[in-house]
Amino acid sequence: MKELRRNMRLVGALLVVMFVGLAAWFAMTVFTQGSIWASDVRNNRLRASNSLRGDITDRDGNLLATTAEDGSRQYTQNAAARRALSQTVGDTAGMSGTGIETFFSATLLDISASLTDRLSELFASKQHVGSSIQITVDGPLQAYIADKFPEGYRGAVCVTNYRTGEILAMVSMPSYDPYDLTGHPNANVEDTAYLNRCLQGLYTPGSVFKIVTLASALSNDAAVTGQSFSCAGEWAYEGGRVVCAGNTAHGTLNLKTAFMRSCNVTFGKLAYQLGLERLRATAETFGFNENFKFGDFVIYNSAFPTQVSGMNGLVWAGIGQGEVLVTPLHMAMISGAVANGGTMMKPLLIDRVVNTQGAATATGKSEVYRQVLDPQIADIIADFMYQTVESGTAARAAIRGYRVTPGSPASYRTTPTPTPSPWSSRAAARARACPASWPPGR
């Protein structure tokens, strides 16, 4: 009998522990995923809501989406801008899962409005209107970038403020017109147009990953800046070989010149010197293999191999090939951290949320994600990047009429030369990108 009671107590204790663990897991999941669940297009509360959606505006107050008196959802009048902003603004059908229309649908409909507010609107015979959202994106700038994007190509462009984390543009190609979903059910929209490649596209980074390999070398070996490397255009090692673009033989070069010329041989050798553990540790400090959780959107996780088969995988990982994958926004965060003295900022998309009374119920705040580099190392990498644009393999990235001023993070800025380019004016760029007015309507 005593043994039976003891067993019953053990079973009871086990059940209590299981229930407590389940409750803790549920609470944590609601805390981390609640906003995503609330905004899911399959949420019956959203489907049953008779509220009118609030407005969506860009950083300067340009109207990107609004609800007309007849209840229809209307977007900016400029068709090119409408397409350029499609994955950012989204659509009411929920085809773009990362768009504001979908990800913040609970806010736009204000399904959490108090019972008192609902009753007062009911007695006043008013239809409930949700909150409006102002985003950090510059609408005309995003339209301008989309206009300059090579026709027929797929890809993404991210522009961020490296000091604040604000996303200024998030272009993903191909794009779509949200009116094709609401007004033309048989419209031929390419499937990948709903994908926001800035957040969801995982790409082999290639040479831009050399920033991470360089950071690892500088962080782990102070003498590496004085080291000489030899490049004969290719490097054969046990298990494979790595070649430079066009089999170019760079000869004897130091670390800075190797970065400027994007020497695959040198960076493959650096990866071998560092070893997988140290290179992976640096990559993970920069956010690789990390489950990003940002309140404004969902970004896919960038990947760096946790193990490789032989030397081949390590060497190619060092030059951003093999199993290394990264999203365009994450790569922008990495570059921004270099410019920001080694401090990586959290990306910010929501500037503020305003209710129907005009009061701001939420305001976007710049936050540090983490310190990924020593400021002195960040300055060295920034100088290397500057020289690469000035006279290296990234010369095509130079903006005509502008130059990047190297120096301490506080002094990084774009400075116009005495003869600015005809399109350096932000106002002129706006005029070309959005010739039509921004009020909504077709």
In-domain check, residue 7: yes
**pLDDT at residue 2 above 70?**
no
- pLDDT at res. 191: 78
In-domain check, residue 442: no
- pLDDT at res. 268: 96
75, 178 in Cβ contact below 8 A?
yes
Count Cα atoms within 13 angstroms, Cβ side, for 388. Answer: 22
238, 309 in Cβ contact below 8 A?
no
In-domain check, residue 419: no
**CATH of residue 225:** 3.40.710.10
Last residue of a domain, one of 169, 194, 219: 194
Domain count for the chain: 3
* 292 and 157 belong to one structural domain: no
* 91 and 133 belong to one structural domain: yes
Phi-psi map region of 103: left, alpha, beta (phi>0 left; psi -120 to 50 alpha):
alpha
Q: CB under 8 Å to 71, separation ≥6 — which residues?
A: 52
**pLDDT at residue 134 above 80?**
yes
* 156 and 226 belong to one structural domain: no
In-domain check, residue 431: no
Q: What is the mean pLDDT of residues 108-119?
A: 62
In-domain check, residue 48: yes
Which stretch of DSSP H or E encloses residue 74? strand 73-75
Helices (H), 149-301: 179-182, 197-200, 210-220, 255-260, 264-285
d(CA 161, CA 98): 20
In-domain check, residue 420: no
What is the residue-averaged pLDDT of the chain? 83
* 244 and 176 belong to one structural domain: no
d(CA 201, CA 441): 31
* 78 and 156 belong to one structural domain: yes
d(CA 330, CA 288): 9
* 236 and 374 belong to one structural domain: yes
Where residue 265 falls among pLDDT bands split at 50, 70, 90? very high
Residue 244 burial (10 A CB sphere; 0-12, 13-18, 19+): buried
* 129 and 49 belong to one structural domain: yes
- pLDDT at res. 329: 98
d(CA 107, CA 86): 19
Provide the residue range defining the domain that includes 33.
Answer: 1-39
* 18 and 65 belong to one structural domain: no
* 151 and 270 belong to one structural domain: no
Which stretch of DSSP H or E encloses residue 371? strand 368-371
Q: What is the mean pLDDT of residues 270-295?
A: 95
* 25 and 58 belong to one structural domain: no
In-domain check, residue 348: no
105, 46 in Cβ contact below 8 A?
yes
* 49 and 167 belong to one structural domain: yes
139, 82 in Cβ contact below 8 A?
no
Where residue 70 falls among pLDDT bands split at 50, 70, 90? confident
In-domain check, residue 433: no
* 244 and 224 belong to one structural domain: yes
pLDDT digits (tens, 9 = 90+) for 320-369: 999 999 999 999 999 999 999 999 999 999 999 999 888 999 999 999 99
DSSP lists the bridge partners of residue 371 as: 343
